[in-house]
Amino acid sequence: MLDSLSGRLSEIMKKIRGWGSLNEINVTDGLREIKLALLEADVNYKVVKAFMEGVTAEAMGEKVLKSIAPAQQFTKIVYDYLVKILGDTPKDLNIHRGGISVLMLVGLQGSGKTTSAVKLARHIQKSYNKKPLLIAADIYRPAAVKQLALLSEKNGFDMFEADDDPVNICAAGVKHAKENSFGAVIVDTAGRLELDEKMMDELVKIKRVINPHEILLVADAATGQAAVSVAQGFDEKIGVTGLMLSRMDSDARGGAALSMSYITGKHIKFIGTGEKVADFEKFYPSRIAGRILGKGDVVSLVEKVQEDLDLEKAKKLEKKIKKAAFDLNDFLDQIKQMQKMGPLENILEMIPGLPKKANMNIDEGELKRTEAIICSMTNYERGHYKSINGSRRKRIAMGSGTTVFDVNKLINNFQQMKKMIKKMGKVGGMKALSSLMDRM
- Summarize as ranges the residues that interact with ligand GTP (CB under 6 A): 107, 109-115, 138, 141, 144, 191, 246-247, 249-250, 272-275, 279
Q: What span, in angstroms and rounded, lies between the C-alpha atoms of 390 and 388?
A: 7
Rg (Cα) of the chain, in Å, rounded? 28
Nearer to ligand GTP, 25 or 193 (CB): 193
Please give the Cα distance from 1 to 252 (Å, whole number).
Answer: 5
The entry of ligand GTP, Mg ion, none near residue 212 (CB within 5 to 8 angstroms by kind) is none
| Shortest Cβ 101–ligand GTP spacing (Å) | 21
Which of ligand GTP, Mg ion, none interacts with 402 (beta carbon under 5 to 8 A by kind)?
A: none
Instruction: Give the three-class secondary structure for 252.
Output: coil
Contact between 188 and 102 under an 8 Å Cβ cutoff? The reply is no
The Cα 37–Cα 8 span in angstroms is 6
- From CA 384, how far away is CA 389, in angstroms rounded? 11
What character string, x for contact with Mg ion (CB under 5 A) and - otherwise, covers 74-113? ---------------------------------------x
Minimum Å distance from CB 93 to ligand GTP? Answer: 18
CA 254 – CA 282 distance, rounded (Å): 17
- Which residue has the closest beta carbon to Mg ion? 114
Which is closer to Mg ion, CB of 76 or CB of 113?
113
Binder among 10, 114, 241, 334 for Mg ion (CB under 5 A): 114
Q: Which is nearer to Mg ion, 223 or 370 (CB)?
A: 223
Cα separation, 404 vs 410, in Å, equals 10
Q: Are 73 and 67 in contact (CB under 8 A)?
A: yes
Closest Cα to residue 200, out of 236, 164, 173, 225? 236
115/337 with CB nearer Mg ion:
115
Q: How far is the CB of 144 from ligand GTP (least distance, A)?
A: 5
Residue 107 interacts with, from ligand GTP, Mg ion, none (CB under 5-8 Å by kind)? ligand GTP
Cβ proximity of 202 and 106 under 8 Å? no
Q: Output 30 or 107, the one with its CB closest to ligand GTP.
A: 107
Contacts with Mg ion by CB under 5 A lie at 113-114
